[in-house]
A and B are shown apart, each in its own frame.
Chain A
Amino acid sequence: METKKQFRWFSIFEYEKEQDYLREMHKAGWKFTKVKGFGSYHFEKCEPEDVVYQLDYNKDGLEHKEEYVKMFSDCGWEYLMDYAGYSYFRKPVSETGVAEEIFCDDESKIMMMERVLKGRMLPLLVIFLCVLLPQFILNIFNYRNYVLATFLGGILAVYIIIFSWCAVKYNKIKNKK
């Protein structure tokens, strides 16, 4: 079986882009098999087909895996794998040409985003406030270690960009409601 590997990086709220990417690959005859490490996507050659890919983020679901997967398979979704808290599902576009999704209202889409925020952003925020920020301030004012302070400052800047970008994205989806 011919296989291939591609590197892609999607930030935490870009699961829609990721879903589109996997769908396009399948349309082009590359069926998703797994993702590992830092965004290493594995595919195997297949008949080109229009298949919808969907990501869910649900800790409850991961804790009750069998029952969670059962509900999706009852509804015709094939469960693929979990990666970084996300569960991957796929379903061929039906003969009527309707591309189904796993969420049917905005409320449940927002609920999922809030689970992502809680699961992924909260730990980052804790590291930010309890480790990075105090270290940065100590290094500037107490230790006067400006090399380390610059380094920490760089990480802080990246963090702040990620936080603001997430806030913008979250508001955008919330206002769409």
Chain B
Amino acid sequence: MDQHIRKVYVPMTETAFYILLCLRDPNHGYGIVQKVEKLTEGAIRLTPGTMYGSLSKMEKDGVIRFVREEDKRKIYQITELGSEILEIEFERIERLYKVAQGEM
């Protein structure tokens, strides 16, 4: 894995995490906003400026790819590289959680 990708995505921002998580199924930006709001019971509301900037950057970084356009909405999906770093992130979060549990 590229050093740049590692530096930016390990660990990654909460926004990037939710985008990758949702894009295991093809979806568009607004679809991700709605899905994240539902998953977190309204705690996290992604906003369009953040969403648009993140999606273009993540596409350039090759962690997601453009699939097709539907009703003026770009649909994206996670790439193999994206899945790989999401897996690394899962392990990191799991470790954090376990450590936190042990300390309590």
Q: B50 and A102: CB pair below 8 A?
A: yes
The size class of the interface chain B forms with chain A is 20 to 34
Docked Cα-Cα span, A67 to B30, in Å, equals 11
The answer to whether residues A70 and B47 also contact, given A107-B13, A111-B53 and a CB cut-off of 8 A, is no
Of A66, A71, A101, A105, which is within 8 A of B52 by CB? A71
The answer to whether A104 and B53 have CB atoms under 8 Å apart is: no
Instruction: Report which of B13, B33, B57, B73 forms a contact with A67, defined as CB distance below 8 A.
Output: B73
Cross-chain contact B57 with A111 (CB below 8 angstroms): yes
Q: Mark A48-86, 1 if CB is under 8 A from B, else 0.
A: 000000101010110010111011101101000000000
Interface presence of A40 (CB below 8 A): no
The answer to the question of A121 belonging to the interface, with a C-beta cut-off of 8 Å to chain B, is: no
Q: Determine the chain A residues whose CB is within 8 A of the CB of B14 once the complex forms.
A: 105
Take A105-B13, A111-B57 as given contacts and tell me if A67 and B72 are in contact as well, using a CB distance cutoff of 8 Å: yes
Tell me whether A3 is interfacial, beta carbon within 8 Å: no
Interface size on A, residues (CB 8 A): 26
A112 touches B53 (CB 8 A): yes
Closest to B46 in A: A104
B102: Cβ under 8 A from any A Cβ: no
Q: Does A100 contact B (CB under 8 A)?
A: yes
Complex Cα–Cα for A107 and B46 (A): 13
Bound together, the chains give a CA A70 to CA B33 distance in angstroms of 13
Q: How far is the CB of B104 from chain A (nearest CB, A)?
A: 28
- With A101-B47, A105-B13 already in contact, the answer to whether A68 and B52 are too (CB < 8 A) is yes
CB contact under 8 A between A108 and B54, given known A75-B47, A75-B48: yes
Find out whether the CB atom of A67 lies under 8 angstroms from the CB atom of B47: no
CA A100 to CA B14, docked complex, whole Å:
18
The answer, yes or no, to whether B24 is at the interface (CB within 8 Å) is no
- Distance to closest chain A CB from B47 (angstroms): 4
Counting from the closest, the 8 A-B pairs by CB-CB distance are: A102-B49, A74-B30, A108-B50, A104-B47, A70-B72, A75-B48, A72-B48, A103-B49
